[in-house]
Amino acid sequence: MTLPATTEDAIIAAVAAALAGRETLRVEGNGTKSGLMRPIKAARSLSTAGLSGITLYAPKELIISARAGTPMPEIEAALAEAGQYMIAEPPDLSALLGSNGKPQTLKPQTLGGVVATNLSGPRRIARGAIRDNVMGIRAINGRAELIRSGGRVLKNVTGLDLCKLFTGSYGTLGVLTEITLKVLPAPEATGTLVLPGLDAAAGIAALSAALGSPFDVSAAAWLPAGAVAATPALDGVSGPAALIRIEEFADSVTYRIGRLRDQFAVAGAVTLGTEASRSVWRAIRDVGPLAPRPGDAVWRVSVRPSAGAKILDALRPHGAAGFLDWGGGLVWLAGPADSATHLRVEAAARAAGGTWTLLRAPDALRAAVRVIPDEPPALARITREVKAAMDPAGIFNPGRLYPGV
């Protein structure tokens, strides 16, 4: 049974009723990310989809506030009208998560879901994550209390920073009801330098050099040959390729793309204009180049950029393949949805000193394996203490991250 909520008072009442009845709650917006992490077994679902609407937008202050159930297209449209954008470029994983043998949702993702999962796109490497841009929140904790943290202007953001604690908590600490975000002016133009014919190791070397240059690169990715061939905006490019994005005023983009092209002097290098660039990076943002087969599992591995190619090499013999974002530091993988392949992904990530997330898999696999690494004992103790402080009865999204948490 789903409990719809259109006001904070309704959420408080629902949480209080769950406490009184000793019931657990699955907290969600439109459910576009229900396949993430471990399966949740809860007595009832509490939906914030009806808690919608932009409550404050001050373009001159670079601040926007909206209720948790506000659809992301509504927020993006309001920002675009004022020539602004969300800094962390959050991905829309609806297509990816909806192709796991289940009907694809037609509902848009919500602001609450984006913040609760802290998923960030290609611009993350240069401009920070969603967590870095959350200025304030309102939420209902596990005691059915309204809590506030942060503010609606930068100078008011003082005190204990619960914003970062709730961002990426996957709804396990409370129900987000309103979020305030910092935004920025959108670039006038976007350009992409495509360096074809580079394998993953050579691609990472080029991306690292570009990111270390003075040209303010805002995204850097490497795509295998199959992904390049399947991307319409890259028509005419053959083989694997490294992609480097520049955003700013048109003249500045042209100048910096030219300087980078001269620096690398790769045969067959291609420069994409604004529209083609936006198309390519939107696809990368939404993990389109991965193109997993129906029934494949999907992993998201975070390592130091120099280790990205080694992850691909280690898992290729076992049927897992993918592409690289964040200069090589973010590895997207698709492969057989079985425990043996998952354990190999874990081992490869650990060997490289990185972390992993099992992003998509059948419920049975997600329930049987670790979807994220175990925390060190000291950190796990803090996690339990934070959970006990925010949700003492353990009613929110039980087992979403770890068994019993």
pLDDT in tens, the chain (405 residues): 676 789 999 999 999 999 999 999 999 999 999 889 999 989 999 999 999 999 999 999 999 999 999 999 999 999 999 999 999 999 999 889 875 445 455 689 999 999 999 999 999 999 999 999 999 999 999 999 999 998 766 555 555 689 999 999 999 999 999 999 999 999 999 999 999 999 999 999 999 999 999 999 999 999 999 999 999 999 989 999 999 999 999 999 999 999 999 999 899 999 999 999 999 999 999 999 999 999 999 999 999 999 999 999 999 999 999 999 999 999 999 999 999 999 999 999 999 999 999 999 999 999 999 999 999 999 999 999 999 999 999 999 999 998 876
Task: Quote the tokens at residue 68.
Answer: 């948790």
